Amino acid sequence: MSKNPFQPFTEEHQLLRVSAREFINKEIVPYVAQWERDKHCAVEVFRKMGEQGFLGVTFPEAYGGSNLDLWAMVVLVEEVAHANIGGLAMSLFAHTYLPLPLINAFGTEEQKQKYLIPALKGEKIGALAITEPNAGSDVGGIKTTAKKEGNHYVINGSKMFITNGSIADFVVTVTRTGAGYDMSLLIVDTDNEGFKAVPIKEKLGMHSSDTGQLFFEDCKVPASALLGQQGMGFYYIMNNLQEERLVAAISGAASAEWALNKAMAYAKERSAFGRPIGKFQVIRHKMAKMAIIVEACRSMAYRAVHEFLAEGSGAVKIISMAKAYISEEAVNVINDALQIHGGWGYMESYGVARAWRDARLMTVGAGTTEIMHEIISKLVVDDVQYQRQYVEARGV
């Protein structure tokens, strides 16, 4: 590991970066426009990513991973973000870093063989189903139920805004199995009778990401579909959300950097009143401010990774801060990049319009900014130590 905390990447990480960039430029970038029109990416891209080992960089070798550290994940998230393909990034990382860490951490050997191994190969696509039509950031408000009947669970309810929902082969589903926070995770194969997925097409952005509404109507799954212990699902999810928010922070910082570089290049090319617009003080100062924000975002994201490696779920505060700050500021930087492009920024051909659309979800997905502020206020103002209860509840 590099001794520089702001450049923590080893030679192995840099080789991974080069490999990922070459793959993305060849196998993904040429097809993004078509995927945007289709409103989902080609499922074949998961298999291609899996064949290159990109889906399993941080997972155990025993299940097809590379067993690298979290900085390898950072490399991949940054490279995908630098390619300005937010929708695909959302699908890929919702597959890799939402359901799969839960299966890796709490799954039985049978579940890992059935789901984790083919998922890391890209042969099966996974999704995590938490949000419901009337329960989003408030995970405790979910109403989808799972009732134990003999050797089966019977699931009833619905889920909303589920990434990969209508292309997934399996869905790790948060269900209510009792009162209060008595919730459980069940792995549902999407070919199960009683399961239905409907694609959601009319979205502001993230067009190349599949989003679905899921319906469970007396959906019967075997008792072996239970992931971890019954009644512990809420605590598993709270831990897992930290990794999701970390990915969101890293992606946001890298997206802001992409927008800054795009704006600087355009400011050198575009002339007005006889000189490049980058020579005007108002544009130069705008880009200077953008550069400061990008540096702050990257530094905060890297610190969050560092603390997550050291403390795991105990890094709730810095991860929540990073998610809140970076998501808001990334939107501002991308908005400024669009402004610098003028009318051309509003056109699809420069890519800034797509980046702007995609970025708007950052302040909503993986927990809204308002929810992040509430978490931070409890940790900072009220001094509530619920990092501790997460760690204790997880039992690891």
pLDDT in tens, 197-217: 999 989 999 999 999 999 999
Q: Does the annotation mark 244 as catalytic?
A: yes
| Residue 314 lies in domain | 234-394
Position 138 pLDDT exceeds 90: no
Residue 80, C-beta contacts closer than 8 angstroms, at least 6 positions apart: 20, 24, 88, 89, 92, 93, 251
Q: What is the pTM of this model?
A: 0.93
Among candidate residues 79, 243, 244, 307, the one labeled active-site is 244
Residue 103 counted as domain residue? yes
Instruction: Give the domain-ending residue among 90, 121, 152.
Output: 121
Q: Are residues 247 and 375 in the same domain?
A: yes
Examine the pLDDT at 388 and tell me if it is beyond 50: no
Within a domain: residue 71? yes
Name every residue whose Cβ is closer than 8 Å to that of residue 6 and which is 6 or more positions away in sequence: 298, 299, 302
Asked if the model's pLDDT at residue 3 lies above 60, the reply is no
- Regarding whether 239 and 388 lie in a shared domain, the answer is yes
Within a domain: residue 169? yes
- The CATH number of whichever domain residue 173 belongs to comes to 2.40.110.10
- Structural domain count of the chain: 3
By the 8 A CB rule, do 118 and 162 touch?
no
The pLDDT value recorded for residue 239 is: 87
Query: Residue 135: pLDDT band by 50, 70, 90 thresholds?
Result: confident
Same domain (yes/no): 42, 186: no
What gap in Å lies between CA 295 and CA 301, rounded to an integer? 10
Residue 3 forms part of a structural domain: no
Task: Report the C-alpha gap between 151 and 156 in whole angstroms.
Answer: 17
Residue where one domain finishes, among candidates 121, 148, 175: 121
pLDDT at 5: 62
* Pair (20, 115) in one structural domain: yes
Q: pLDDT value at position 393? A: 42
Mean pLDDT of 234-242: 92
Rounded Cα gap, residues 116 and 129, in angstroms: 17
Please indicate, yes or no, if residue 4 is contained in any of the structural domains: no
pLDDT of residue 6 exceeding 80, the answer is: no
CB 76 within 8 A of CB 16: yes
pLDDT for 120 equals: 98
With respect to residue 5, please indicate whether it lies within any of the assigned structural domains.
no
Q: Tell me: the pLDDT tens digits for 96-115?
A: 999 999 999 999 999 999 99
For residues 185 and 102, is the Cβ–Cβ distance under 8 A?
Answer: yes
382: confidence class by pLDDT, cuts 50, 70, 90? confident
One domain for residues 244 and 377: yes
- Identify the residue with better confidence: 141 or 360: 360
Q: What percent of the chain has pLDDT over 70?
A: 95
CATH number at residue 299: 1.20.140.10
Q: Residue 317: which residues within 8 A CB-CB, separation 6 or more?
A: 375, 376, 379, 380, 387
Is 224 in the same domain as 247? no
